[in-house]
Amino acid sequence: MDSLHVKHRLRATPDTVQWGFFDAHVEPVLRINSGDSVELDTISGGPRYFKKAMQEEYYALVPNLREIHEKLGKNKVGPHFLTGPIEIMGAEGGQALAVTLQSIAPATPVGYNSIVPGKGTLPNDFPYARARLIKLDKERKYALFPEGMKLPLSPFFGNQGVAPPVSMERVSSLAPGVHGGNIDNKELVAGSTLYLPIHEDGAKYSVGDGHALQGDGELCLSALECSMHATLTLEIKKDMDLRWPMGETRTHIICMGFSPDLNEAAELATRNAVGYLTSIGLNRDDAYTLSSFVVDLHVTQLVNGVKGVHAMIPKSVLAQKSKG
């Protein structure tokens, strides 16, 4: 690592975790410089998801979870445990934060999935609660599912964001928004970068809601949820004009849209894709036409109240433009 930058260590404890919210007023648990990396832990598993016997089994596998439940329960807002916030020194409102995920892997040998009555994409078809623990083979990187299925893992964080504008006060981790939050975008695996608009000085980044595996839509409400161990790099982008979260992978630029209405989320993702293409030199009409040719719209998730759609712009097409 560049000698100018430092690698920090941040564990998930009652003193470094927030239960279900982003809030500009919360004091940071770590302060770093732009370009520093953080090796951190996140935890998953609220008590509402498990019957007592299963909860005790899960407690034995997830360090600090019982203590976090006991100490943070009175301040709970949303369902997710978020490690942070991390202040990036020198970050100012109006700038952007680049979060590059260097590595991520399950921290425990099990994950879980739950069905909650009245939730998910088919609430009337599944009007009952069910939770199950699912074994993970961390070395071979797959989940063991019934009927002999071995499902390759593709871990990412469902929930990451910065402090929302002070005027929004305390924001639940349940839904995505301009600050990031519960994006649930399965493309943001190791090697990807999430760009977030900074609303308040210091940025105050938090992360959690580890998913070992998820399909677009997150149909039954939860993914294969599990605690994670990860390393990420946080860097200020001073000249990046960013209004909504945006992602980048090895192959794609990802523009996002969030709304309670799925059509409006698709419109916003498309509008953001057109805006990105115009920012790199296309005129507005050509950007819209090109979007119809090569941009794929994916349903990010349907189950968080505020729905998500993301527009996948292939970088191979953009490379052709750069060559003239």
pLDDT digits (tens, 9 = 90+) for 75-128: 999 999 999 999 999 999 999 999 999 999 999 999 999 999 999 999 999 999
Residue 322: pLDDT band with limits 50, 70, 90: low
Contacts with 103 (C-beta within 8 Å, 6 or more apart), sequence order: 190, 230, 231
What is the pLDDT at residue 188?
Answer: 98
> Does the pLDDT of residue 46 top 90, yes or no?
no
What is the pLDDT at residue 101?
Answer: 98
Residue whose pair of structure tokens reads 């302060």 in the numeric block: 31
What is the pLDDT at residue 54?
Answer: 84
What is the pLDDT at residue 141?
Answer: 97
Size (the chain), residues: 324
> Does the pLDDT of residue 247 top 70, yes or no?
yes
- Higher pLDDT, residue 224 or 147: 224
Tell me if 14 sits within 8 A of 73, measured CB to CB. Answer: no
Is the link from the previous residue into 85 a cis peptide, with omega within 30 of 0? yes
Q: Which residues pair with 115 in a beta bridge?
A: 130
- Mean pLDDT, residues 252-266: 98
- CA distances from residue 23 to 73, 107, 163 in whole angstroms, order as listed: 17, 27, 5
Q: Is it true that 7-237 and 251-322 share their CATH fold?
A: no
Q: Where are the alpha helices (DSSP H) in the chain?
A: 52-59, 65-72, 262-279, 284-294, 315-322
What is the pLDDT at residue 225?
Answer: 97
Q: Which amino acid is at 10?
A: L
Q: What is the mean pLDDT of the chain?
A: 95
Contacts with 152 (C-beta within 8 Å, 6 or more apart), sequence order: 141, 142, 213
- What is the bridge-based pairing of β-strands 176-177 and 180-181? antiparallel
Residue 2: pLDDT band with limits 50, 70, 90: low
What is the pLDDT at residue 313?
Answer: 98
Closest CA to 305 of 129, 76, 118: 118
Model-wide pTM > 0.75: yes
What is the pLDDT at residue 323?
Answer: 58
What is the pLDDT at residue 51?
Answer: 77
The radius of gyration computed from the CA coordinates of the chain, to the nearest angstrom, equals 19
Name the 3-class secondary structure at 316: helix
Query: 251: exposed, middle or buried (C-beta count within 10 Å: 0-12, 13-18, 19+)?
Result: exposed
Domain range list for the chain: 7-237, 251-322
CATH superfamily of 7-237: Acetamidase/Formamidase-like domains (2.60.120.580)
pLDDT > 90: what percent of the chain? 90
Name the 3-class secondary structure at 280: coil
CA distance 62 to 114: 17
Residue 321: pLDDT band with limits 50, 70, 90: confident
- Mean pLDDT, residues 63-70: 92
Residue 186 backbone phi and psi in degrees, to 5: -70, -10
CA distance 246 to 320: 22
CA distance 165 to 170: 9
Structure tokens at 80: 């997710």
- What is the bridge-based pairing of β-strands 205-213 and 171-172? unpaired
Query: 53: exposed, middle or buried (C-beta count within 10 Å: 0-12, 13-18, 19+)?
Result: exposed
> Does the pLDDT of residue 1 top 70, yes or no?
no
- Mean pLDDT, residues 172-188: 98
- Mean pLDDT, residues 12-29: 97
Name the 3-class secondary structure at 40: strand
What is 251-322's CATH topology?
Endonuclease I-creI (3.10.28)
What is the pLDDT at residue 289?
Answer: 98
pLDDT digits (tens, 9 = 90+) for 209-237: 999 999 999 999 999 999 999 999 999 99
Residue 253: pLDDT band with limits 50, 70, 90: very high
What is the pLDDT at residue 95?
Answer: 98
What is the pLDDT at residue 50?
Answer: 76
